[in-house]
Amino acid sequence: MTDGGSKTADHLRAALDGPWAAVREEARLQLADDRFTGDPYLDYKAARARVLDQMKVIAGMGLAERGFRRENGGTSEPGAAVTGLEMLAYADLSLWVKAGVQWGLFGGAVENLGTERHRDHITRLLSLDLLGCFAMTESGHGSDVANLETTATYDPATQEFVIHTPTPSARKDYIGGAAEHARMAAVFAQLITDGENRGVHCLLVPIRDEHGADLPGVTTYDDGLKGGLPGVDNGRIVFDQVRIPRENLLNRYADVAPDGTYTSEIENPSRRFFTTLGTLVRGRVSVGGAAAAGARVALSIAVRYAEKRRQFADPDSGEETVLMDYRSHQRRLLPLVAKSWALAFAQNDLVRRMHLVQTGQDLDPSAQRALEKRAAGLKVAQTRHATRAIQECREACGGAGYLTENRLVTLKADTDVFTTFEGDNVVLTQLVAKELLTSYSDEVRDLDALGWVRFAATMAGDVVRKRSGVRQMIQTLSDRNGESIDEADLSRRSVQLKLFADREDYLVRTAAHRLRARAKETGPFEAFNNAQDHILTAGTAHIDRLVLEAFIDGIADIEDPEARALAEDVCDLYVYSLLEEHTAWFIMHRFMSVERAKAVRRGMNELVDRLRPNALTMIEALGVPEGMLRAAMLEDASVFERA
């Protein structure tokens, strides 16, 4: 790291850097180059050109090759690829998005959905000889991918697919690369052959010639100015009976013979659709990681600023007080730093799981589905955290935080859309909860209505915990501490885990009961719609519990005593801040007394007091080099000195 840091910070950074720590350290050195710094003063046309030039430099670093299989010219290191590209977020999020579209979304679609006949495309896209885009979203359908309107109709007479936009709402929209740079699109469309709709498939469709002009039948539009990410050329694409060769169908999971015969090894259309989308999970993993990286940058700036900026004199000493010495400032920033730690450990765990699945080291049939659920949940947590943390950092830095030269408003603008792309956060939370409810229903499917009522009213069941491993973790920690859960010491990990798990259990149980009871009266859709708030809360509780587990696992291997003690306190702060946030729920549902709620509040104050002297160490552990922060208010410390 360029800013050195204490030995304690070094130990903590090593833990937070995770399995691909060497990749992170290499990227810190590579990306310190001024060529990768964003320039907020450029207009969007110049910003796009700059990012494309930066992409060409990145292409020579070997970062992209890690994400592709050896037979396709890569090195088969998906974990290293996600980690390395995540580091681009420290420099410029426009660059991260542009790289993600080219090598993650477009390249990922070609490699994971294509076959050997598409190998040449991978060679070309790796070197940027072929610039591409990922054309899934339509103006009328974003999250509802199954009901996209664009069609790909096979014509056996010419052995071509005809790509067509049948309605205005079927235009491909918000597509990164579509406005200017992309020459080819990975287009998701309803595949029609022999007069039958076979569902959504992906096809490679050339959209521009070598001079950048739209090809016949293709019309592209520029989405124009956006709330952020000026270096990304988002645009719209309309297809008017565009013909492409039969071989342009990405045919890993389904193919069309020259005579139009459709074949697939996955007979069930629904399973085929979800298998197709599941192979693209790396994009969702990456979005969450980049959002969390943006939050780390903002917190690194805000805490360092709070250590320098003074405001209001201490009546006893006459000296102005450093912002970070105010409890209100500690409370607004330090819990967010703790959450960044928690999410960093959770991301490391997620990337490790993804790497094992995508390299064939984890062949458990349920591993892919579990990965998708975890990726969806963590993407929600990370992007919501980024939105909240960056805004808090902006406010905590006052007027200086509003100046573009100090990066916070740029980070806020650039990460705002992360809550939307790769899955709207509300929809993804709902997806997580549906998975929980599906698993849960297997346990109670044969119970009558009375049985459901009794089951839902039982507080001590272990349906969620049996599947997650949290039950074993609670028991192990209880045994280690020699205390029973009933003693309820909030500083005990076993008690903390049990509170999180009990909340999740209760919400899933009661949501299931509510759905079952309502469905008999109104039908499934109305029942689900009526319980949607409950379902979303259950999904959020599940995500919170997964992140806590990852935090506990992440600090378990820290050997240095001082570093371990500090990490334990930071973990406590993460737990107490969430308990405080949900105090009303815990009291209403009798998981927590009013006295215990007061103890949580006192515990928060004690923890921020204890952690105050280590605020900079906590920030240094997050691993954003001070030289990459590039906030003007940090570079000229003399402005805060008093004569």
The pLDDT score that the predictor gives to residue 95 is: 96
**Alpha carbons 80 and 418: distance in angstroms, whole number:** 22
Bridge partners of residue 220, in order along the sequence? 237
Phi-psi region of 602 (alpha: psi -120 to 50; beta: other; left: phi over 0): alpha
The pLDDT score that the predictor gives to residue 486 is: 38
- Evaluate if residue 288 carries a pLDDT over 70: yes
Buried b (16+ CB within 10 A) or exposed e, 83-115: bbbbbbbbbbbbbbbbbbbbbbbbbbbbbbbbe
The pLDDT score that the predictor gives to residue 442 is: 53
Phi-psi region of 263 (alpha: psi -120 to 50; beta: other; left: phi over 0): beta
The pLDDT score that the predictor gives to residue 485 is: 39
Please tell me the least confidently modeled range out of 113-127, 301-315, 458-472.
458-472
pLDDT per residue as tens digits for the range 561-587: 999 999 999 999 999 999 999 999 999
pTM: 0.90
pLDDT per residue as tens digits for the range 351-396: 999 999 999 898 888 888 889 999 999 999 999 999 999 999 999 9
The pLDDT score that the predictor gives to residue 37 is: 85
Percent of the chain scored above 90 by pLDDT?
68
- Evaluate if residue 321 carries a pLDDT over 90: no
To the nearest 10°, report the CA torsion of 125, 128, 129, 134. 50
Are 433 and 338 spatial neighbours (Cβ–Cβ below 8 Å)? no
Residue 469 binned pLDDT confidence (cut-offs 50, 70, 90): low
The label of the residue with tokens 């719609």 reads 529
Residue 589, CA distances (Å) to 148, 371, 459, 463, 546 in order: 42, 31, 11, 19, 21
Letter for the amino acid at 513?
H
Residue 474 binned pLDDT confidence (cut-offs 50, 70, 90): low
Q: Is 301 helix (H, G, I), strand (E, B) or coil?
A: helix
Residue 473 binned pLDDT confidence (cut-offs 50, 70, 90): low
pLDDT per residue as tens digits for the range 47-90: 999 999 999 999 988 889 999 999 999 999 999 999 999 999 99
The pLDDT score that the predictor gives to residue 638 is: 64
Q: How many residues does the structure list for the chain? A: 643
Bridge partners of residue 138, in order along the sequence? 172
DSSP for residue 213: P
Residue 549, CA distances (Å) to 19, 85, 379, 585 in order: 17, 26, 16, 21
Bridge partners of residue 255, in order along the sequence? 263
The pLDDT score that the predictor gives to residue 441 is: 58
- Evaluate if residue 421 carries a pLDDT over 90: no
**Alpha carbons 567 and 228: distance in angstroms, whole number:** 35
Residue 280 binned pLDDT confidence (cut-offs 50, 70, 90): confident
Residue 200, CA distances (Å) to 48, 161, 178, 352, 406 in order: 31, 14, 20, 30, 44
DSSP string for residues in 122-139 = HHHHHTTSS-EEEE--BS
Are 385 and 339 spatial neighbours (Cβ–Cβ below 8 Å)? yes
Comparing C-alpha atoms, which of 118, 96, 91, 92 is closest to residue 107? 118
The pLDDT score that the predictor gives to residue 191 is: 97
Please tell me the least confidently modeled range out of 147-156, 283-292, 433-442.
433-442
**What are φ and ψ of residue 186, in 5° steps?**
-85, 105
**Alpha carbons 538 and 456: distance in angstroms, whole number:** 14
pLDDT per residue as tens digits for the range 221-253: 999 999 999 999 999 999 999 999 999 999 999
Q: Is 99 helix (H, G, I), strand (E, B) or coil?
A: helix
The pLDDT score that the predictor gives to residue 259 is: 96
Letter for the amino acid at 585?
W
Please tell me the least confidently modeled range out of 16-30, 426-440, 550-564, 603-617.
426-440
Query: Which tops the pLDDT comparison, 186 or 591?
Result: 186
Letter for the amino acid at 166?
P
**What value, to the nearest 5°, has the Cα angle with vertex 58 and ends 27 and 212?**
155
11: how many CB neighbours lie within 10 A of its CB? 20
**Biggest alpha carbon–alpha carbon distance for the chain:** 91
Q: Which residues are catalytic?
A: 422
Please tell me the least confidently modeled range out of 16-20, 97-101, 625-629.
625-629
Residue 510 binned pLDDT confidence (cut-offs 50, 70, 90): confident
DSSP string for residues in 242-301 = EEEEGGGB--SS-EE-TT--EE-S---HHHHHHHHHHTTHHHHHHHHHHHHHHHHHHHHH
DSSP string for residues in 380-449 = HHHHHHHHHHHHHHHHHTHHHHTSGGGSHHHHHHHHGGGGTTTS-HHHHHHHHHHHHHHHHHHHHTT--H
**Alpha carbons 622 and 626: distance in angstroms, whole number:** 11
DSSP β-ladder status, 184-193 and 151-155: parallel
Query: Which tops the pLDDT comparison, 321 or 87?
Result: 87
**Alpha carbons 352 and 347: distance in angstroms, whole number:** 8
Residue 35, CA distances (Å) to 38, 51, 56, 97 in order: 8, 10, 11, 17
Letter for the amino acid at 335?
P
The pLDDT score that the predictor gives to residue 277 is: 84
43: how many CB neighbours lie within 10 A of its CB? 9
The pLDDT score that the predictor gives to residue 642 is: 57
Query: Which tops the pLDDT comparison, 84 or 525?
Result: 84
**Alpha carbons 612 and 606: distance in angstroms, whole number:** 10
Please tell me the least confidently modeled range out of 16-20, 123-127, 489-493.
489-493
What's the gap between Cα 205 and its chain centre? 28
**What six digits make up the tokens of 388?**
């909240």
pLDDT averaged over the chain? 88
- Evaluate if residue 467 carries a pLDDT over 80: no
**Alpha carbons 573 and 551: distance in angstroms, whole number:** 12
The pLDDT score that the predictor gives to residue 529 is: 81
| Neighbour-count burial of 206, counting CB atoms closer than 10 A to its CB (0-12 exposed, 13-18 middle, 19+ buried) | middle
**Alpha carbons 25 and 152: distance in angstroms, whole number:** 45
